[in-house]
Amino acid sequence: MDMEILQDYLPEARELLEKAQDDTLRLESDPNNDEVLASVFRAFHTLKGGAGFLEADHLVSWTHHLEDLLDKLRSHTLVVNGAMIDAILRGLDVIDDMLQQLACGEYPGPGPEELGQLIQELAAGKRAEQVSVNGPIESDATPSNPFPPEATLLVSQRPTAAGESGLFLERTESASSSETAADEITDAEFEATLDALYGNKAPGVTSASDSGQLNSDEISPEEFEQVLDQLYGQQAPGYEQPALTATVSASSIDSEKATAEIAPPTQSVSTTTNPSSEATNASKAAPPARSAAAAQEAADTTLRVDAARLDAVMNQVGELVLLRNRLSSAIGSLGEENEDMLRIAREVDITVNDIQSTVMRLRMQPCKRLFQQLPRVVRDTSRQLGKEVALEIVGEDVEIDKAVVDALSGPMTHLLRNSLDHGVELPADRQAAGKARSAKIRVAAIHLGDKVRIEVSDDGRGIDSQFVTRKAVDKGVITAEQAARLSEQEAVELIFRPGFSTNDQVTDISGRGVGMDVVKETVRKLRGRLDIQTKPGLGTSISMEFPLTMAVLPVLYLRLRREIYALPVSSIESLLDIQESRIHRMSGRSVYRVDGTEVIPMVDLGRLLHDRPLRLGSEPIEGILTERGLIMVSEVLGNEDSVVKPIDFLAEQNWYQGATISGKGNVVLILDAGALANHVIDHGGDSTIINVSCKGAA
């Protein structure tokens, strides 16, 4: 196996596979689209060709069978139906498995024999499921043709109704091939017909006196001009008339009239010899040629780069950002201001920002790559569950970091399958509830400044928080005491707990309690935010927010007594001055009243990290408001761009997202605001102790 060819083949093959799956799903709703049929055929043909270079015989054989089926569909020998779509999609899955074997350096084994036989029978037209628009098609049916192969076209010159000479085209059907052979004319008969029609004025014929060289195959420039004049007159392509008005010869008028008379009796065919219309048609045909040339030019300027090289460049840019921060900090700590040093620092800052922005754009990919697998997931799962679902995808062109696209493939599948299994009702149940039989699932990517939000929503039954809480207690996910302290939103978020599922029986789709936990953990590792909103009877919406880039993370530095920590800026909503009158006790834990309606848990970093709570009134305390809670610290210092380094030696469940190096060269731990708030919610009053007299109780 040639490894160089393999490295070039695999990325292109996966792109072709994704495109073929997308086009196959389009065929299901638009089976007569010749362009899509041709696209799928080309994909299999290209896959087969590359596999042949690699000597992957089983992959060649498999793609060849699919290519045969698509060739029959493309030529309209067969008609697309549901059985063929299913077979093609299953065949694509087999090709995907074979490509994975090739990626491991192994030659792929043979595909499933039963599926291969099915594809060959479909291509041969032996399956009764083939149904056309007007009825079933027999296996030996031949494509319809408006002009049977035995038909003969006859041209004759007759006077028109107006008494002028015209050309008439007629079609006659021959009884047998022998009659067709009898209708063939000899060269002499053909020349005689031309003489009868044109005399000695046939296009391209010149007299001996004009040319002087009857037996020569070469023509002079004068002869060439005469031929052009006879063919086009003064309307030759590229010829510009000197005046706005043009004289139209009688012969051209007669030609147009004669042409207008040419029409077969069974269908309307309009043929014009107007040179201006030909020029117009030529101009209309030019854009596809230009677009093809532009596509070729774009392909020539595209460079395929290994992702590991981009990651290496991004890591170097991260180190450059850290050096920039240290340089700025060092210059700021100088006792005397030096204009030259300040100017150099500003120029370095601008240059590093430009380099960082350029490299970030190299890693950006459209969300279409993430979403293109979802129609197949919805199609297969909805059929398995017997539900009718329409999928709407919005924002495929929104770009996000490659790391997010790669990591979210599995979680997006889990979200859709969860929505289909638990959220969407059966068609009969939806009708009984006054809804449309077909449910709607919407997947959207929304650009929000330096973030991207990805939403998955449905119009199903929604989530019953009380039912979820009971199930969580029954399965031992939480205790009854913890359940009593949960708010409605916290109860709904129990679906993200490991091992939790509302299904009592394990099926191929759900019941194991791992899908939504995978979603939550993936979002946490990508430094994102996860939110769920639901209304019983109306539907559920789950949204995930991610930073545009994963390489550089803006953080807010804070001080906890003598130690410095950092929080991601993306997890912070605002900064607050702690007011004693807003602190209350509710369900065994300290909470803070942000405004008239919002009450959130208080997270005492002193209690969690130092095992010694902060004491309001005895030491300085500031509040950092996050989505899940109010984090209490000693002092907020300022923000800075940082590069996150993983902490591999800690347990998988911890309170840190990683570490970074501050502008002063110190190692700083980056806190996970969500993990801290979840710990407080789970352990109640044991984690938050404020030495104040609480003003309220619940």
421-433 pLDDT per residue, tens: 888 999 999 999 8
pLDDT digits 0-9 by tens, 303-312? 777 778 888 8
Residue 324 pLDDT exceeds 60: yes
For the stretch 594-605, what's the b/e string if a residue is b when 16 or more beta carbons lie within 10 angstroms of its beta carbon?
A: beeeeebbbbbb
| Residue 212: per-residue pLDDT | 45
CB neighbours of 518 closer than 8 A, spacing ≥ 6?
Answer: 410, 411, 414
Which of the four pLDDT bands, split at 50, 70 and 90, describes residue 560? very high
Residue 540 pLDDT exceeds 80: yes
Residue 537 pLDDT exceeds 70: yes
Where is pLDDT greater, at 440 or 108?
A: 440
| Residue 162: per-residue pLDDT | 64
Task: Indicate if the alpha-carbon torsion angle 571, 671, 597, 444 is positive or negative.
Answer: positive
Q: Give the lowest-confidence range in 246-260, 362-376, 507-521, 579-593.
A: 246-260
Residue 442 pLDDT exceeds 90: yes
| Residue 426: per-residue pLDDT | 92
Which of the four pLDDT bands, split at 50, 70 and 90, describes residue 439? very high
Residue with tokens 């089983």: 58
pLDDT digits 0-9 by tens, 236-276? 554 444 443 333 333 333 434 333 333 333 333 333 333 33
Is there a contact between 405 and 369 (Cβ–Cβ < 8 Å)? yes
Where is pLDDT greater, at 167 or 347?
A: 347
Task: Indicate if the alpha-carbon torsion angle 268, 274, 280, 283 is positive or negative.
Answer: positive
278-282 average pLDDT score: 40
Give how far Cα 32 sits from Cα of 35, 79, 341, Å.
9, 8, 69
* Average pLDDT over the chain, rounded to an integer: 75
Contacts 24+ apart (CB under 8 A), 682-685: 682/482, 684/482, 684/485, 684/587, 684/588, 684/589, 685/588, 685/589, 685/590
| Residue 113: per-residue pLDDT | 85
Q: At what angle do helices 374-385 and 3-29 cross, to 10 degrees?
A: 50
Q: Nearest to residue 416, comparing CAs of 378, 369, 454?
A: 378
| Residue 557: per-residue pLDDT | 93
294-307 average pLDDT score: 62
Query: 633 - beta bridge partners?
Result: 622
Q: Give the lowest-confidence range in 41-50, 460-469, 689-698.
A: 689-698
Residue 400 pLDDT exceeds 80: yes
In degrees to the nearest 10, what's the CA dihedral of 127, 128, 129, 133?
A: 120
Residue 117 pLDDT exceeds 80: yes
pLDDT digits 0-9 by tens, 157-172? 666 666 666 666 565 5
120-147 average pLDDT score: 51
| Residue 262: per-residue pLDDT | 35
**Phi, psi for residue 655 in degrees, rounded to 5:** -105, 15
Q: Which of 181-195, 305-319, 509-523 has the highest mean pLDDT?
A: 305-319
- pLDDT over 70, % of the chain: 69
Residue 508 pLDDT exceeds 70: no
Q: Give the lowest-confidence range in 260-264, 293-297, 603-607.
A: 260-264
Residue with tokens 């008609």: 79
pLDDT digits 0-9 by tens, 8-50? 778 888 888 888 888 888 888 888 888 888 888 888 888 888 8
Q: Give the lowest-confidence range in 432-446, 505-519, 579-593.
A: 505-519
Q: Give the lowest-confidence range in 58-62, 174-178, 257-261, 644-648.
A: 257-261
The span from the CA of 460 to the CA of 419, in Å, is 8
Is there a contact between 557 and 669 (Cβ–Cβ < 8 Å)? no
Residue 190 pLDDT exceeds 90: no
Residue 372 pLDDT exceeds 80: yes
Which of the four pLDDT bands, split at 50, 70 and 90, describes residue 281? very low
Cβ neighbours around 276 below 10 Å, total: 10
The span from the CA of 298 to the CA of 301, in Å, is 5
| Residue 140: per-residue pLDDT | 40
* Tokens linked to 379: 């199609």
Q: Give the lowest-confidence range in 72-86, 327-341, 442-456.
A: 327-341
The span from the CA of 655 to the CA of 674, in Å, is 8
Task: Indicate if the alpha-carbon torsion angle 137, 141, 145, 147 is positive or negative.
Answer: negative
**Phi, psi for residue 300 in degrees, rounded to 5:** -70, -25
Which of the four pLDDT bands, split at 50, 70 and 90, describes residue 109? confident
Is there a contact between 584 and 694 (Cβ–Cβ < 8 Å)? yes
Is there a contact between 108 and 58 (Cβ–Cβ < 8 Å)? yes
